[in-house]
Chains A and B, each alone.
Chain A
Amino acid sequence: MPAYEAVIGLEVHAELETASKMFCACAVVDSTSAEPNTVTCPVCLGMPGALPVVNQRAVEMGLRVGLALNCAIPPFSQFARKSYFYPDLPKGYQISQYEYPLAINGWLEIDLPDGMTKRVRIRRAHLEEDTGKLTHTDGHSLVDLNRAGVPLLEIVSEADLRSAEEAEIYARKLVAILRYLGVNSGDMSKGVLRIEPNISVRPVGSSEFRTRTEIKNLNSIRSLARASAYEIERQIALWEAGGQVQQATLGWDEARQVTVVQRVKESADDYRYFPEPDLPVLEIGPAWVEDVRMGLPELPDARRDRFMGQFGLSRYDAAVLVAEQAVAAYFEAAVTAGGDPKGVANYLTGEVFRLMNSEGRDRQDIGAIRLTPPALAALVTLVRQGTITHGVARQLVETLYAAGGDPAALVAAHGLAQVSDADVLGEAVARTLDAHPGEVARYLAGEEKLLKFLMGLVMRELRGQADAQVVARLLAAQLAQRRG
């Protein structure tokens, strides 16, 4: 069987975090919890004669994303009607953009697992309105139009991704950028972000494009990764069995972890796009674009590079820290409080992340943990000064994470300071060796692996509060003496 590679492009639909809807003044609410149909008006209900007006903030947010993704902003942008009949939009069409999108021809650079980087081209980003929500009941469908008309930015990549893993990395980075830009919370459980990969496979080395399928409405990055991996394997198996992949729209069955056909496409979609006659065109001149560009925050890549240069962090550590804006801010606060950058990075990506993972806490919520940035900084400093050992520091991180507090005070109150007095250490070594004459004899008779065991005993005797290197030196010396 030849080796196959996937050819994947991603459409990401991101709701924009405006206060009001795209074309009317109805509030944008959490559509997973708001009472149905409490934020509608003649415009988003599609009443005859109602006229849409574009939300300026939505346009600016779209421009922010476009610029952050290195897109060109065409001077002319136009809305278009995408005709289709489905009760989730009562007008019989969705206002979208077609020929003249807001942003075109950008790219996003991703870090691959092998240490290489890759530029994924962005074809376009265009503004549109979200649809309402349908609930299917016995013989009927219920329609909630709270979400209808919420601003949506559709970000379309070229088919530059070559594996489910690359698709996942791209999506994670894109979501991070949207969060940095303050245009989308990235909270996929609220449905504010949906991902639709289109997928085909081909033998490695080939440049052909085989029939592709599209998976609709994936609502988590984990689903994206799993659904893509499943679909890639399914297509490879089909080709290998001498079959054909059929062009289709698929859904992801979360319970069974399989893709299922929703609709077989016999012909291209025919939405009869035409320019939206109710909305004048947008002219976006260089002055407006520069204005938006000046207002962009420091983005993840720039921040990663700065962390590497300013703090001497590895690219990997820096990338992990900046992936979540809140984590990067926490790190910088700890460094500002006097923490050694590498030490802070180590405890943050090690112990702190482990503790957060174990209680299922999202990294974006790091600002709410009890271990404050100054406390972590103080802890790192205590280790650097040799006041406490790494082992004690790890325990302290756990204590501070659970209950907060001041590291120095805890060290003093519980007598956790590192024992560095050579006499004290030497006595502990002697005490331990005296208590285990059998093991000492076996070690001296050539059973060298017992050294580690004896070392462990001494460290336990010292409650982990000793410099392991000093202890090892003293242990070796005393054993040599006993060899006589």
Chain B
Amino acid sequence: MTFDRAMVAHIAELAKLQLSDEESERFAAQLSDILAYAERLQALDTEAIPPTASVLPLRNVLRPDVVEPSLPRGEALANAPDSADGQFRVDAILDSEGGAA
């Protein structure tokens, strides 16, 4: 599978990255190489192997519903590039740009 400019543009859009034409060109080639390398896995016969998301033999790792102290607000905000009124401050975001739930 090769990556064309349109696919790079789509991924960049999802990642909210702005790429120049030159970057798109370069990343298309690089991503194609990476995918080609990973595609070698397709040669393996996985017919008999169930889909696996984790190789750890862990199941039902749960915690009781007990509250523990949170961080002091000053510490929570300490690493933020910008804050105001006890809140993280970011460049203006319009509601229409996304959001999940």
A142–B76 touching, CB < 8 Å: no
**Is A27 in contact with chain B by the CB < 8 A criterion?**
yes
- Chain B: interface secondary structure? loop
Which residues between 57 and 85 of chain A lie within 8 Å of chain B, taking CB atoms? 57-59, 78, 82-85
B90–A140 touching, CB < 8 Å: yes
Q: How far is the CA of A275 from the CA of B54 in the complex (A)?
A: 9
Pick the contact of A277: B14, B54, B60, B96 (CB < 8 A). B54
**Is B21 in contact with chain A by the CB < 8 A criterion?**
no
A19–B66 touching, CB < 8 Å: yes
Which residues between 40 and 66 of chain A lie within 8 Å of chain B, taking CB atoms? 40-42, 45, 53-59
Pick the contact of A134: B56, B63, B93 (CB < 8 A). B93
Choose, from A87-95, A308-316, A323-331, A352-360, the stretch at the interface: A87-95
A37–B88 touching, CB < 8 Å: yes
B67 CB, nearest partner CB in chain A, Å: 5
Closest to B56 in A: A280
B89–A142 touching, CB < 8 Å: yes
B61 CB, nearest partner CB in chain A, Å: 5
Pick the contact of B87: A18, A86, A139, A144 (CB < 8 A). A144
A280–B90 touching, CB < 8 Å: no
Pick the contact of A53: B10, B14, B61, B98 (CB < 8 A). B61
Q: Which residues of B contact A271 (CB under 8 A)?
A: 100
Interface-centre pick from B56, B98, B101 (highest chain A CB count, 10 A): B101
Q: Which residues of A contact B96 (CB under 8 A)?
A: 262-263
**Is B77 in contact with chain A by the CB < 8 A criterion?**
yes
A19–B95 touching, CB < 8 Å: no
Q: A85-B15, A262-B95 are in contact. Are A55 and B100 (CB under 8 A)?
A: no
B14–A143 touching, CB < 8 Å: no
Pick the contact of B63: A25, A89, A130, A142 (CB < 8 A). A25
A37–B66 touching, CB < 8 Å: no
A281–B53 touching, CB < 8 Å: yes
B53–A78 touching, CB < 8 Å: yes
Q: How far is the CA of A94 from the CA of B98 in the complex (A)?
A: 13
B65 CB, nearest partner CB in chain A, Å: 4
Q: Which residues of B contact A58 (CB under 8 A)?
A: 65
Query: B residues touching A (Cβ–Cβ < 8 Å)?
Result: 10, 14-16, 53-54, 56, 58-68, 70-71, 73, 76-77, 84-101
Query: A residues touching B (Cβ–Cβ < 8 Å)?
Result: 13, 18-20, 25-27, 35-42, 45, 53-59, 78, 82-89, 94, 128, 130-131, 134-145, 152, 154, 194, 251, 262-263, 270-272, 275, 277, 279-283
Apart from A128-B101, A272-B14, A275-B54: 19 A-B pairs, beta carbons within 8 A: A18-B65, A19-B65, A36-B86, A39-B70, A40-B73, A40-B76, A45-B76, A84-B98, A88-B99, A88-B100, A131-B101, A135-B87, A140-B92, A141-B92, A141-B93, A275-B53, A280-B61, A281-B59, A283-B60
